[in-house]
Amino acid sequence: MRIAVVRNPIAGGRAGQKQWAPLLAAFSNRFPDLEIHESRSSGDARRLARELAARSYDLLVVAGGDGTISDVVDGVLMSTNPDMPLAFLPTGTGCDFIRNFNLPSDPAALAEHIAQAPLRKIDAGLLISRDAEGNEQRRHFANITSVGISGEIVEAVNAPGRRRILNGPIRFLFHSALAILRYRPYDFEVLIDGMRVHHGKLALTAIANGGWFGGGMHITPDANVADGRFEIAVMREESVFGLLNLLGRLHKAGHVGHPLLSFHKGRRVELRPRDPARFPVDVDGETAIRGGFIAEILPGVLTVRT
Protein backbone atom coordinates (compact mmCIF):
# COMPACT_ATOMS: atom_id res chain seq x y z
CA MET A 1 0.00 0.00 0.00
CA ARG A 2 1.42 3.45 -0.96
CA ILE A 3 0.83 5.74 1.97
CA ALA A 4 1.52 9.45 2.50
CA VAL A 5 1.39 10.87 6.02
CA VAL A 6 0.49 14.53 6.52
CA ARG A 7 2.01 15.40 9.88
CA ASN A 8 1.60 18.56 11.91
CA PRO A 9 4.90 18.69 13.86
CA ILE A 10 3.52 21.06 16.53
CA ALA A 11 0.23 19.20 17.23
CA GLY A 12 -0.15 18.11 20.84
CA GLY A 13 2.88 20.11 22.01
CA ARG A 14 5.53 18.09 23.86
CA ALA A 15 3.17 15.14 24.45
CA GLY A 16 2.39 14.98 20.72
CA GLN A 17 6.09 14.93 19.88
CA LYS A 18 6.70 12.10 22.35
CA GLN A 19 3.91 10.05 20.78
CA TRP A 20 5.38 10.46 17.31
CA ALA A 21 8.53 8.27 17.57
CA PRO A 22 6.69 5.02 18.51
CA LEU A 23 3.95 5.74 15.96
CA LEU A 24 6.50 6.34 13.21
CA ALA A 25 8.37 3.13 14.12
CA ALA A 26 5.18 1.02 14.11
CA PHE A 27 3.89 2.49 10.85
CA SER A 28 7.24 2.27 9.02
CA ASN A 29 7.42 -1.35 10.11
CA ARG A 30 3.89 -2.18 8.86
CA PHE A 31 4.06 0.02 5.71
CA PRO A 32 7.67 0.11 4.40
CA ASP A 33 6.82 2.61 1.61
CA LEU A 34 5.56 5.28 4.01
CA GLU A 35 6.26 8.91 3.02
CA ILE A 36 6.12 11.69 5.62
CA HIS A 37 5.10 15.25 4.67
CA GLU A 38 5.16 17.88 7.43
CA SER A 39 3.05 21.03 7.47
CA ARG A 40 5.23 24.14 7.70
CA SER A 41 2.73 26.68 8.98
CA SER A 42 -0.87 27.14 10.03
CA GLY A 43 -3.17 26.00 7.21
CA ASP A 44 -0.32 24.32 5.28
CA ALA A 45 -1.82 20.84 5.85
CA ARG A 46 -4.68 21.88 3.54
CA ARG A 47 -2.27 22.64 0.68
CA LEU A 48 -0.34 19.40 1.29
CA ALA A 49 -3.54 17.33 1.32
CA ARG A 50 -4.84 18.91 -1.88
CA GLU A 51 -1.54 18.18 -3.66
CA LEU A 52 -1.07 14.66 -2.25
CA ALA A 53 -4.68 13.63 -3.00
CA ALA A 54 -3.99 14.26 -6.67
CA ARG A 55 -1.08 11.77 -6.66
CA SER A 56 -1.30 7.99 -6.82
CA TYR A 57 -1.33 7.06 -3.12
CA ASP A 58 -3.66 4.42 -1.73
CA LEU A 59 -4.12 6.25 1.56
CA LEU A 60 -3.47 9.63 3.20
CA VAL A 61 -2.82 9.36 6.92
CA VAL A 62 -3.30 12.45 9.08
CA ALA A 63 -0.93 12.72 12.06
CA GLY A 64 -2.13 15.59 14.23
CA GLY A 65 -5.13 16.91 16.10
CA ASP A 66 -8.54 18.17 15.10
CA GLY A 67 -7.23 21.31 13.37
CA THR A 68 -4.98 19.22 11.13
CA ILE A 69 -7.75 16.72 10.35
CA SER A 70 -10.05 19.63 9.48
CA ASP A 71 -7.45 21.15 7.12
CA VAL A 72 -6.76 17.80 5.46
CA VAL A 73 -10.48 17.06 5.01
CA ASP A 74 -10.93 20.49 3.41
CA GLY A 75 -7.86 20.00 1.20
CA VAL A 76 -8.95 16.54 -0.01
CA LEU A 77 -12.54 17.61 -0.67
CA MET A 78 -11.27 20.66 -2.63
CA SER A 79 -8.83 18.50 -4.64
CA THR A 80 -9.22 16.78 -7.99
CA ASN A 81 -9.49 13.45 -6.09
CA PRO A 82 -12.02 13.92 -3.24
CA ASP A 83 -12.36 10.12 -2.88
CA MET A 84 -8.78 9.74 -1.57
CA PRO A 85 -9.09 7.45 1.51
CA LEU A 86 -8.06 8.91 4.88
CA ALA A 87 -6.89 7.41 8.17
CA PHE A 88 -5.99 9.13 11.44
CA LEU A 89 -3.02 9.05 13.84
CA PRO A 90 -3.98 11.02 16.94
CA THR A 91 -1.08 13.20 18.10
CA GLY A 92 -3.06 16.36 18.95
CA THR A 93 -4.15 17.83 22.28
CA GLY A 94 -7.90 17.18 22.27
CA CYS A 95 -8.27 14.68 19.40
CA ASP A 96 -12.07 14.87 19.54
CA PHE A 97 -12.90 13.72 16.02
CA ILE A 98 -11.20 10.34 16.40
CA ARG A 99 -13.31 9.63 19.52
CA ASN A 100 -16.06 8.75 17.03
CA PHE A 101 -14.07 5.70 15.93
CA ASN A 102 -12.93 2.84 18.06
CA LEU A 103 -9.20 3.08 17.33
CA PRO A 104 -6.62 1.08 19.32
CA SER A 105 -4.14 3.24 21.24
CA ASP A 106 -1.13 0.90 20.87
CA PRO A 107 0.90 2.08 17.80
CA ALA A 108 1.43 -1.41 16.29
CA ALA A 109 -2.22 -2.34 16.84
CA LEU A 110 -3.29 0.94 15.24
CA ALA A 111 -1.11 0.30 12.17
CA GLU A 112 -2.57 -3.20 11.82
CA HIS A 113 -6.11 -1.88 12.36
CA ILE A 114 -5.67 0.67 9.55
CA ALA A 115 -4.14 -1.98 7.25
CA GLN A 116 -7.13 -4.29 7.79
CA ALA A 117 -10.01 -1.78 8.04
CA PRO A 118 -12.47 -1.79 5.16
CA LEU A 119 -13.02 1.48 3.30
CA ARG A 120 -16.18 3.24 4.39
CA LYS A 121 -17.98 6.49 3.67
CA ILE A 122 -18.72 9.12 6.29
CA ASP A 123 -20.21 12.63 6.23
CA ALA A 124 -18.49 16.01 6.35
CA GLY A 125 -19.81 19.54 6.82
CA LEU A 126 -19.61 22.48 4.42
CA LEU A 127 -19.57 26.06 5.76
CA ILE A 128 -20.66 28.98 3.61
CA SER A 129 -19.77 32.36 5.10
CA ARG A 130 -18.50 35.81 4.13
CA ASP A 131 -15.03 37.22 4.65
CA ALA A 132 -14.40 40.76 6.00
CA GLU A 133 -14.82 42.19 2.46
CA GLY A 134 -18.19 40.45 2.01
CA ASN A 135 -16.96 37.79 -0.44
CA GLU A 136 -18.46 34.31 -0.12
CA GLN A 137 -16.07 31.71 1.30
CA ARG A 138 -16.52 27.95 1.54
CA ARG A 139 -14.70 25.47 3.74
CA HIS A 140 -15.30 21.92 4.90
CA PHE A 141 -15.16 20.61 8.44
CA ALA A 142 -14.89 17.14 9.88
CA ASN A 143 -16.32 17.29 13.38
CA ILE A 144 -18.09 20.26 15.02
CA THR A 145 -18.67 23.93 14.22
CA SER A 146 -19.86 25.98 17.19
CA VAL A 147 -20.53 29.57 18.23
CA GLY A 148 -21.07 31.43 21.46
CA ILE A 149 -18.95 30.72 24.50
CA SER A 150 -17.09 27.88 22.71
CA GLY A 151 -16.11 30.22 19.86
CA GLU A 152 -14.67 32.67 22.39
CA ILE A 153 -12.82 29.90 24.26
CA VAL A 154 -11.24 28.47 21.10
CA GLU A 155 -10.06 31.91 20.03
CA ALA A 156 -8.59 32.60 23.48
CA VAL A 157 -6.87 29.19 23.77
CA ASN A 158 -5.25 29.47 20.33
CA ALA A 159 -4.18 33.14 20.54
CA PRO A 160 -0.62 33.59 19.19
CA GLY A 161 2.09 32.65 21.69
CA ARG A 162 -0.24 30.93 24.16
CA ARG A 163 0.66 27.43 22.97
CA ARG A 164 4.10 27.90 24.48
CA ILE A 165 3.05 29.28 27.87
CA LEU A 166 0.74 26.63 29.35
CA ASN A 167 0.35 23.03 28.26
CA GLY A 168 -2.83 21.73 26.59
CA PRO A 169 -5.48 20.87 29.23
CA ILE A 170 -4.37 23.57 31.72
CA ARG A 171 -4.37 26.21 28.97
CA PHE A 172 -7.85 25.10 27.94
CA LEU A 173 -9.26 25.25 31.49
CA PHE A 174 -7.67 28.60 32.28
CA HIS A 175 -8.91 30.33 29.12
CA SER A 176 -12.34 28.64 29.37
CA ALA A 177 -12.88 30.10 32.83
CA LEU A 178 -11.74 33.57 31.68
CA ALA A 179 -13.91 33.47 28.54
CA ILE A 180 -16.98 32.40 30.56
CA LEU A 181 -16.51 35.29 32.99
CA ARG A 182 -16.22 37.76 30.08
CA TYR A 183 -18.93 36.28 27.83
CA ARG A 184 -21.75 38.56 26.67
CA PRO A 185 -24.37 36.32 24.99
CA TYR A 186 -24.85 36.81 21.25
CA ASP A 187 -28.27 37.42 19.78
CA PHE A 188 -29.07 34.90 17.04
CA GLU A 189 -31.68 33.33 14.87
CA VAL A 190 -31.06 29.61 14.34
CA LEU A 191 -32.81 27.98 11.36
CA ILE A 192 -32.68 24.23 10.76
CA ASP A 193 -33.87 23.02 7.35
CA GLY A 194 -35.67 26.36 6.98
CA MET A 195 -37.49 26.21 10.36
CA ARG A 196 -36.63 28.77 13.04
CA VAL A 197 -35.78 26.85 16.23
CA HIS A 198 -34.39 29.76 18.24
CA HIS A 199 -34.20 33.54 18.28
CA GLY A 200 -32.63 35.53 21.07
CA LYS A 201 -29.58 35.27 23.27
CA LEU A 202 -27.46 32.15 23.17
CA ALA A 203 -24.81 30.59 25.37
CA LEU A 204 -23.73 28.17 22.65
CA THR A 205 -24.84 26.40 19.49
CA ALA A 206 -22.96 23.35 18.22
CA ILE A 207 -23.51 21.91 14.75
CA ALA A 208 -22.12 18.42 14.95
CA ASN A 209 -21.08 15.65 12.63
CA GLY A 210 -19.26 13.91 15.53
CA GLY A 211 -20.11 13.75 19.22
CA TRP A 212 -17.22 15.41 21.12
CA PHE A 213 -15.49 18.78 21.29
CA GLY A 214 -13.32 20.78 23.72
CA GLY A 215 -11.07 17.80 24.55
CA GLY A 216 -13.65 15.17 25.49
CA MET A 217 -16.90 17.09 26.10
CA HIS A 218 -19.71 14.89 24.84
CA ILE A 219 -21.84 17.80 23.61
CA THR A 220 -23.95 15.90 21.04
CA PRO A 221 -24.28 12.29 22.27
CA ASP A 222 -26.65 11.32 19.44
CA ALA A 223 -24.40 12.49 16.61
CA ASN A 224 -23.43 9.89 14.02
CA VAL A 225 -20.72 10.59 11.43
CA ALA A 226 -22.45 8.43 8.84
CA ASP A 227 -26.18 9.21 9.14
CA GLY A 228 -26.33 12.08 6.64
CA ARG A 229 -27.49 14.59 9.29
CA PHE A 230 -26.09 17.02 11.82
CA GLU A 231 -27.02 16.87 15.45
CA ILE A 232 -27.47 20.45 16.66
CA ALA A 233 -27.30 21.48 20.33
CA VAL A 234 -28.79 24.90 21.17
CA MET A 235 -27.95 26.21 24.64
CA ARG A 236 -29.88 29.32 25.65
CA GLU A 237 -28.56 32.27 27.64
CA GLU A 238 -27.35 31.37 31.12
CA SER A 239 -25.70 33.07 34.10
CA VAL A 240 -21.96 32.62 34.66
CA PHE A 241 -22.60 30.05 37.41
CA GLY A 242 -25.18 28.27 35.30
CA LEU A 243 -22.71 28.12 32.40
CA LEU A 244 -19.90 26.76 34.57
CA ASN A 245 -22.27 24.15 35.95
CA LEU A 246 -23.49 23.12 32.47
CA LEU A 247 -19.98 22.96 31.01
CA GLY A 248 -18.86 20.89 34.02
CA ARG A 249 -21.48 18.28 33.14
CA LEU A 250 -20.51 18.03 29.48
CA HIS A 251 -17.77 15.40 29.82
CA LYS A 252 -20.27 12.75 30.85
CA ALA A 253 -23.14 14.11 28.72
CA GLY A 254 -24.84 15.16 32.00
CA HIS A 255 -26.27 18.22 30.18
CA VAL A 256 -28.85 16.16 28.30
CA GLY A 257 -32.32 17.00 29.64
CA HIS A 258 -31.28 20.46 30.92
CA PRO A 259 -34.24 22.84 30.43
CA LEU A 260 -32.12 25.48 28.65
CA LEU A 261 -30.86 23.03 26.05
CA SER A 262 -32.52 21.63 22.98
CA PHE A 263 -31.24 19.04 20.51
CA HIS A 264 -32.22 18.84 16.86
CA LYS A 265 -31.36 16.88 13.72
CA GLY A 266 -31.03 18.51 10.32
CA ARG A 267 -29.18 18.84 7.03
CA ARG A 268 -28.88 22.62 6.70
CA VAL A 269 -28.33 25.04 9.57
CA GLU A 270 -28.34 28.79 9.24
CA LEU A 271 -26.97 31.04 11.97
CA ARG A 272 -28.11 34.61 11.52
CA PRO A 273 -26.69 37.12 14.00
CA ARG A 274 -29.10 39.96 14.77
CA ASP A 275 -26.25 42.43 14.50
CA PRO A 276 -23.51 41.98 11.93
CA ALA A 277 -20.67 41.41 14.43
CA ARG A 278 -17.64 39.38 13.25
CA PHE A 279 -17.71 37.00 16.25
CA PRO A 280 -15.29 34.03 16.21
CA VAL A 281 -16.62 30.67 14.98
CA ASP A 282 -15.05 27.47 16.31
CA VAL A 283 -14.48 25.12 13.36
CA ASP A 284 -12.99 21.82 14.61
CA GLY A 285 -11.21 23.65 17.42
CA GLU A 286 -9.80 26.54 15.34
CA THR A 287 -11.19 30.01 14.59
CA ALA A 288 -11.56 29.36 10.86
CA ILE A 289 -14.34 31.87 10.04
CA ARG A 290 -16.18 34.83 11.60
CA GLY A 291 -19.79 35.99 11.67
CA GLY A 292 -23.02 34.32 10.49
CA PHE A 293 -22.90 31.26 8.25
CA ILE A 294 -24.76 28.35 6.67
CA ALA A 295 -23.67 24.77 7.44
CA GLU A 296 -24.68 21.93 5.12
CA ILE A 297 -24.08 18.24 5.69
CA LEU A 298 -22.43 16.42 2.78
CA PRO A 299 -23.52 12.80 3.23
CA GLY A 300 -20.89 10.12 2.60
CA VAL A 301 -18.34 12.43 0.92
CA LEU A 302 -15.34 11.22 2.93
CA THR A 303 -13.73 7.84 2.38
CA VAL A 304 -12.00 6.53 5.50
CA ARG A 305 -10.19 3.50 6.87
CA THR A 306 -11.17 3.54 10.53
Ligand X SMILES: Nc1ncnc2c1ncn2[C@@H]1O[C@H](COP(=O)(O)OP(=O)(O)OP(=O)(O)O)[C@@H](O)[C@H]1O
Could you say whether residue 9 binds ligand X (CB under 6 A)?
A: yes
Could you say whether residue 155 binds ligand X (CB under 6 A)?
A: no
Could you say whether residue 151 binds ligand X (CB under 6 A)?
A: no
Stretch that binds ligand X, among 9-17, 28-36, 111-119, 132-140 (CB under 6 A): 9-17
Could you say whether residue 93 binds ligand X (CB under 6 A)?
A: yes
Cβ atoms of 149 and 204 closer than 8 Å: yes
Could you say whether residue 41 binds ligand X (CB under 6 A)?
A: yes
Nearest residue (beta carbon) to ligand X: 65
User: Least Å distance between CB 59 and ligand X?
Assistant: 19
Could you say whether residue 64 binds ligand X (CB under 6 A)?
A: yes
Residues 175-194 as x/- pattern, contact with ligand X by CB under 6 A: --------------------
20 vs 18: CA distance, rounded Å: 5
Could you say whether residue 162 binds ligand X (CB under 6 A)?
A: no
Kindly state the helix (H) or strand (E) to which residue 77 belongs, with its residue range.
Answer: helix 66-77
Phi-psi sector, 43: left (phi>0), alpha (psi -120 to 50), beta: left
Q: In 166-267, where does DSSP find H-type helix?
A: 168-182, 240-249
* Nearer residue to ligand X within complex by CB, 8 or 100: 8
Provide CB contacts within 8 A for 248, sequence distance 6+: none
For ligand X, which residue of 4, 26, 39, 231 counts as binding (CB under 6 A)?
39
C-alpha 228: how far from its chain's center? 17
User: Least Å distance between CB 12 and ligand X?
Assistant: 5
103 vs 94: CA distance, rounded Å: 15
